[in-house]
Amino acid sequence: MVQPKRNILITGGAGFIGSHVVRLFVNKYPEYHIYNLDKLTYAGNLENLKDIEDKPNYTFIKEDICNYEAILEIFQKYNINGVIHLAAESHVDRSIKDPFTFAQTNVMGTLSLLQAAKVCWDGKYEGKRFYHISTDEVYGSLEFDGTFFTEETKYDPHSPYSASKASSDHFVRAYHDTYGLPTIVTNCSNNYGPYQFPEKLIPLFINNILEGKPLPVYGKGENVRDWLYVEDHARAIDLIFHEGKIADTYNIGGFNEWKNIDLIKVIIKTVDRLLGKPEGTSDHLITYVTDRAGHDLRYAIDSNKLKNELGWEPSLQFEEGIEKTVRWYLDNQKWIKNITSGGYESYYNTIYKYLFK
């Protein structure tokens, strides 16, 4: 039987992780058509995809996932038969200041995509796939006791961001259980690498070191995160999209836990070294500040299910990953300056500043 052409809708493809996923799919699968749907909020940046924007199997669509009528039309017009859903409000600190936007985008936006897929596919689910990208933050917080989040860990979100992601995960599973929609959910740990918006710890701190600005460490810097290089996450998404079991959940992580303060010291050391400055030059920039409200103590992902069932493992050692990442930000200061100078700043970001800062 001739397989129908894969027309894949990737949402949030102009963001950090989404741009790596779009790039991987466009380059690896010239026989597919990749539709990158993104609203271009403050976090969406088409500069991230300059190298593939002219490829014949790639189309960018500027749209809001919450606009159900428009989304349904896109499903029908382009005969979408696969979805990889990454579009979201992703920054915990913003969610504390503006929870409504998080509920709107992350919950209602996901619902709008699910409903469009259900209506468009109309029970003909053969070969179809709705893959929802989620976070380990839905599981809550661990103690320093060597335990891990597994796929069986109960949801216990604490921030408005993680509550909105948890809610969207539940809607995705409900659409499978109620309507049979062929869904998959993955929950991943902290990503790092090129093209990450400089509000997140690693790019923010690299940029502040370059500018000689303080490095705001929340609380005592003792919180622990599990870091994964973004291209390894994109590889996992590719594998799971093609070979993951419908209705299943997979955890994705790096088995790479770092206490924030230790990670920050590695970043400082790496930046100073690559700039040819003596070790310790930028240590004085470390500034302890008021803790994030509801700050989860520790995240650690057990991704053995993914390893055992589909053979995925992180390919990059952290030392190599962080070196590559720091080098990328040093080599691409134009990219970061375009964001931090405000030259790039969108309307959304402007009103965010006035309303919530």
Of these residues, 38, 89, 137, 151, which one is catalytic?
137
- Applying CB under 6 A, does 204 fall inside the site for ligand NAD? no
Q: How far is the CB of 11 from ligand DAU (least distance, A)?
A: 15
Q: How far is the CB of 120 from ligand DAU (least distance, A)?
A: 28
Over the window 117 to 136, marking each residue x when it contacts ligand DAU by CB under 6 A and - when it does not, the resulting string is ------------------xx
Q: Active site includes 169?
A: no
Beta sheet of 257-259, edge-to-edge order: 190-192, 224-229, 257-259
Residue list 149-188, contact with ligand NAD (CB under 6 A): 165, 188
Do 215 and 264 meet the contact criterion of CB atoms below 8 Å apart? yes
Q: Active site includes 126?
A: no
**Cβ atoms within 10 Å, residue 239:** 16
CA distance 140 to 325: 28
Out of 112, 167, 260, 270, the only residue in the binding site for ligand DAU (CB under 6 A) is 260
Out of 141, 159, 162, 190, the only residue in the binding site for ligand NAD (CB under 6 A) is 190
Q: Active site includes 296?
A: no
Do 139 and 301 meet the contact criterion of CB atoms below 8 Å apart? no
Out of 45, 90, 164, 207, the only residue in the binding site for ligand DAU (CB under 6 A) is 90
Over the window 100 to 139, marking each residue x when it contacts ligand NAD by CB under 6 A and - when it does not, the resulting string is -----x---x-----------------------x-x----
Q: How far is the CB of 208 from ligand DAU (least distance, A)?
A: 9
CA distance readout (Å), 196 to 23, 91, 219, 231, 343: 15, 11, 23, 12, 17
Out of 49, 86, 224, 236, the only residue in the binding site for ligand NAD (CB under 6 A) is 86
In the DSSP assignment, the letter for residue 147 is: -
CA angle 188, 192, 197 (to 5 degrees): 105
- Measured in whole angstroms, how far is the alpha carbon of residue 6 from the centre of its chain? 23
Give burial (CB, 10 Å; 0-12/13-18/19+) of 269. Answer: middle
Residue whose CB is less far from ligand DAU, 24 or 261: 261
Q: Which two tokens stand for residue 38?
A: 């993104």
Give burial (CB, 10 Å; 0-12/13-18/19+) of 126. Answer: exposed
Q: At what angle do helices 318-331 and 333-340 cross, to 10 degrees?
A: 70
Q: How far is the CB of 89 from ligand NAD (least distance, A)?
A: 6
- Applying CB under 6 A, does 64 fall inside the site for ligand NAD? yes
End-to-end CA distance of the chain: 57
- Applying CB under 6 A, does 202 fall inside the site for ligand NAD? no
Q: Which residues bind ligand NAD (CB under 6 A)?
A: 11-12, 14-18, 38-41, 43-44, 64-66, 86-90, 105, 109, 133, 135, 165, 188, 190-191, 197
Residues that bind ligand DAU (CB under 6 A): 90-92, 135-137, 189-190, 200-201, 204, 216-218, 223, 225, 260, 292, 299
Active site residues: 136-137, 161
